[in-house]
Amino acid sequence: MEAFSLQPEKWVILYGDYLYSLAMMKTGSRETSQDLVQETFLSAVKAKDTFNGLSSEKTWLTAILRNKVIDFYRKKDVLKNASDYLADTEASFHAAFFDSAVDSYGHWRQDTAPRAWAESADAAMKRKEFYKILQYCIDKMPPRLIPAFVAKYIDEEDTEKICKELDLSSSNYWVMVHRAKVLMRSCLEKNWFLEER
Would you say domain 82-193 falls under CATH 3.30.365.10?
no
pLDDT on residue 101: 65
pTM summary value: 0.60
In this prediction, residue 123 carries a pLDDT of 67
Query: How close are the terminal C-alpha atoms of the chain, in Å?
Result: 55
Q: Where are the domains of the chain?
A: 8-75, 82-193
Q: How far apart are CA 72 and CA 30, in angstroms?
A: 14
Domains 8-75 and 82-193 share a fold: no
With a pLDDT cut of 70, the percent of the chain lying above it is 84
Can you tell me the distance from the alpha carbon of 156 to that of 23, in angstroms, rounded to the nearest whole number?
15
pLDDT at 103: 53
State pLDDT tens for residues 25-40.
888 888 999 999 999 9
Residue 159 and residue 145: Cα distance in Å, rounded? 14
What topology does CATH give the domain 8-75?
Answer: Rna Polymerase Sigma Factor; Chain: A (1.10.1740)
